[in-house]
Amino acid sequence: MADILELSVQYRVIGTACRKKLLELESALNSGDFVENEYELKRRITMLTAMTRDCIATSNYLRTYSERRERLEQLRQQKAGI
């Protein structure tokens, strides 16, 4: 079960890094301070938005799955009198 929680943390870290980069790109777009063309910058922002959302959602899913599974195991042990 620890492996699932560790994976959840890794997804969260990646999602946070994507969010940080996304904020940098959005700031550059809003200030007009970018080297590449505007279309390419907007495309990168769109892709990072999806990656950020998916990584954080996966992290939440894995954490919730792990917590539910741990709770079910505790209930089984209580019923068995362990």
Q: Which two tokens stand for residue 59?
A: 């992290």
Question: Using CB atoms within 10 A of its CB, is residue 71 exposed (0-12), middle (13-18) or buried (19+)?
Answer: exposed
- Check residue 38 and give its pLDDT: 92
Give the pLDDT confidence score for residue 2 in this predicted structure.
74
The proportion of the chain whose per-residue pLDDT surpasses 90, expressed as a percent, equals: 83
Q: Which two tokens stand for residue 17?
A: 């890094």
Once rounded to an integer, what is the mean pLDDT over residues 30-48?
91
Contact 29, 41 (CB under 8 A): yes
How many contiguous H segments (helices) and E segments (strands) does the chain have? 2, 0
Residue 50 has pLDDT above 70, yes or no: yes
Rg value, the chain, Cα: 19
Phi, psi for residue 52 in degrees, rounded to 5: -60, -50
pLDDT bin (cut points 50, 70, 90) of residue 12 is very high
